């Protein structure tokens, strides 16, 4: 069978800052998915896109082609609760959240059951960690018995009954993205904004959610280090969602410091349960509530009070049902690391800096993350923080505790933390702003 386009011509077009036609893009994604376009050719095209960008129409067409490579989910069969909210078609409304990844980012765990309290279904398709950013599925798998893999039928049944599900995306959802992402990961093209945006949004649009809230992280522990770059990514993704008929909003949030007081797997579940019990670190509670407000508003629910649902136990009730529905025991003891080592404050003063990337790399080296997708993670490994920026500290006080089953990892974890801490004289206070911008 003859092919309608020449791969090298398409690479040259992007290399020379040209614009690809919808037909060229559709063919490129299809031809690469079926193996006609070679890996080195797609790598060259990805690099040309990284260097020269794409316009809005090209990104939309690239996203649509990746969606077309697989199945699309449909939640129109979900029935609303009696007296509960409905979407424009009289069905149970759906809303989802996506974070671009960070350190200590356990927000999905309390957020999904919290939004479900108010009659909105939350189909949260999540992933595993790679490198210094933690994965939601890795955290939840620290709960004895919990399983990430659900069939579409099981997912629908749980959304109808419980209202929230956190699980792995099926292999049929945007398979072209999985293949392209694996190539980007090993060719230095992960940071290409058109490719990041289309990767995220192809899966979210194919997932079939009615509305979507994006948590775009900014800072050392995020993929986007620069605020203007993060704004560009957020605007691109909001436009893709809007053009696809998905109500989409983005918050830009700070990832210069880890979220909460834990970075790991079991210890982040523990902290999430504290939030669901009405406690937990202030920054985790603030972001959970704000994202819940955005998700509910995007789903058409007004007058809800997510903060009250954390305080009075309603969100905890949904959490327990959600964990049980996926085979987990919400009352089971979580794994605990066999070994620990304390890192102490080097001086008196105010903690004004605690670098998120350094903490994330330390947690990764302790065994909480993986260098390759096939690596196993330690459920109990990670970093427990004893102070956050703004706290007054004294020399010799514990700043953080390192946790692992394999003590030979401590040395390299401490190397990652060598420049993580900044202590200033008394009186200095960092100016932290958790939520930096909103784009709709």
- Please name the residues in contact with 257: beta carbons below 8 A apart, sequence gap of 6 or more: 219, 221, 353, 354, 355, 356, 388, 389, 432
Report yes or no: 330 and 323 within 8 Å, Cβ to Cβ. Answer: yes
Residue 308: enclosing H or E segment and its boundaries?
Answer: helix 306-311
Output the pLDDT for position 1: 66
Q: Specify which residues 363 forms β-bridges with.
A: none
Report yes or no: 4 and 27 within 8 Å, Cβ to Cβ. Answer: yes
CA distance 150 to 170: 8
Output the pLDDT for position 374: 72
Domains annotated on the chain, with CATH: 7-53 (no CATH), 95-325 (3.40.1030.10), 339-424 (3.90.1170.30)
Per-residue pLDDT of the chain (440 residues; tens, 9 = 90+): 689 999 999 999 999 999 999 999 999 999 999 999 999 999 999 999 999 999 999 999 999 999 999 999 999 999 998 889 999 888 999 999 999 989 999 999 999 999 999 999 999 998 887 677 778 999 999 999 999 999 999 999 999 999 999 999 877 888 999 899 889 878 888 889 999 999 999 999 999 999 999 999 999 999 889 999 999 999 999 999 999 999 999 999 999 999 999 999 999 999 999 999 999 999 999 999 999 999 999 999 999 999 999 999 999 999 999 999 999 999 999 999 999 999 999 999 999 999 999 999 999 999 998 877 677 899 999 999 999 999 999 999 999 999 999 999 999 999 999 999 999 987 766 667 899 999 99
Q: Strands 349-354 and 392-393, how do they pair?
A: antiparallel
pTM: 0.93
Report yes or no: 210 and 93 within 8 Å, Cβ to Cβ. Answer: yes
Output the pLDDT for position 186: 81
Task: Tell me which residues are annotated as active site.
Answer: 98, 177, 184, 199, 203
SS3 annotation, 44-66: HHHHHHHHHCCCHHHHHHHHHHH
CA distance 135 to 105: 9
Torsion angle, alpha carbons of 408, 412, 417, 419, to 10: 150
């Amino acid at each position: 069978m003859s092919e309608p386009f020449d791969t090298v011509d398409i690479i040259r077009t992007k290399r020379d800052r040209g614009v690809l036609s919808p037909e060229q893009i559709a063919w490129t994604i299809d031809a690469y998915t079926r193996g006609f376009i070679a890996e080195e050719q797609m790598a060259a095209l990805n690099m040309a896109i990284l260097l020269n960008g794409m316009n809005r129409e090209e990104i939309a067409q690239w996203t649509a082609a990746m969606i077309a490579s697989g199945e699309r989910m449909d939640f129109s069969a979900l029935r609303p609760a009696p007296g509960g909210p409905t979407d424009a078609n009289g069905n149970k409304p759906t809303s989802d959240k996506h974070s671009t990844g960070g350190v200590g980012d356990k927000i999905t765990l309390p957020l999904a059951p919290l939004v479900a309290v108010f009659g909105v279904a939350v189909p949260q398709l999540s992933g595993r960690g790679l490198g210094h950013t933690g994965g939601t599925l890795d955290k939840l798998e620290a709960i004895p018995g919990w399983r990430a893999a659900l069939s579409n039928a099981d997912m629908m049944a749980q959304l109808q009954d419980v209202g929230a599900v956190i699980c792995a995306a099926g292999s049929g959802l945007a398979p072209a993205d999985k293949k392209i992402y694996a190539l980007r990961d090993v060719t230095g093209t992960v940071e290409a904004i058109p490719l990041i945006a289309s990767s995220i949004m192809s899966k979210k649009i194919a997932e079939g959610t009615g509305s979507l809230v994006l948590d775009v992280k900014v800072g050392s522990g995020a993929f986007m280090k620069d605020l203007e770059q993060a704004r560009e990514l957020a605007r691109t993704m909001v436009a893709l969602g809007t053009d696809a008929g998905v109500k989409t909003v983005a918050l830009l949030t700070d990832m210069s410091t880890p979220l909460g007081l834990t970075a790991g797997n079991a210890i982040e579940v523990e902290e999430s349960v504290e939030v669901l019990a009405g406690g937990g670190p202030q920054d985790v509670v603030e972001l959970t509530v704000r994202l819940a407000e955005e998700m509910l508003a995007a789903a058409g629910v007004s007058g809800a009070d997510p903060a009250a649902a954390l305080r009075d136990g309603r969100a905890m009730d949904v959490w327990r049902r959600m964990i049980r529905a996926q085979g987990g025991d919400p009352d089971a003891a979580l794994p605990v690391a066999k070994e620990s080592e304390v890192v102490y404050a080097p001086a008196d003063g105010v903690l004004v800096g605690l670098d998120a990337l350094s903490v994330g790399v330390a947690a990764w080296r302790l065994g909480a993350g993986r260098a390759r997708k096939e690596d196993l993670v330690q459920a109990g490994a990670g970093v427990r923080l004893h102070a956050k920026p703004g706290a007054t500290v004294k020399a010799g006080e514990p700043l953080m505790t390192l946790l692992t089953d394999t003590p030979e990892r401590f040395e390299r974890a401490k190397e990652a933390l060598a420049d993580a801490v900044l202590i200033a004289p008394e009186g200095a206070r960092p100016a932290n702003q958790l939520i930096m911008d909103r784009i709709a």
